[in-house]
Amino acid sequence: MENNDLDVLIQATELVVTTQFGSTSMLRQELGIPHSKAEGIMNLMESHGLVGPDQESETREVKIPPGSLASTIDHLKREGGAA
């Protein structure tokens, strides 16, 4: 994963965990990224166990509490964003 993609993954993780709201359209709007990239980031977050699976038109379950954000970000950085 390139540094820019890792940066976007980290920004998305911060946004989803702090708001406890997992939505592709929210990422698209808040981060200013195309829908396909937002969808890919959500799928990557799912593969890391951060959010639950896609449930059609509903938001995804966020599996990480806000208090675990720092350790989650550290883990993503160590892994380079790879699942």
Residue 18 has, within 13 A of its CA and on its CB side, a CA count of 10
Q: Which domains does the chain have, with CATH numbers?
A: 3-79 (1.10.10.10)
pLDDT at residue 77 in the model = 92
Q: Is 69 exposed, middle or buried (0-12, 13-18, 19+ CB in 10 A)?
A: middle
pLDDT at residue 38 in the model = 95
Instruction: Locate 24 and state its tokens.
Output: 């592709």
pTM reported for the whole predicted model: 0.90
pLDDT at residue 76 in the model = 93
pLDDT at residue 36 in the model = 95
pLDDT of the chain, 83 residues: tens digit per residue:
566 789 999 999 999 999 999 999 999 999 999 999 999 999 999 999 999 999 877 899 999 999 999 999 999 999 887 76
Residue 33 contacts residue 8 (beta carbons within 8 Å): yes
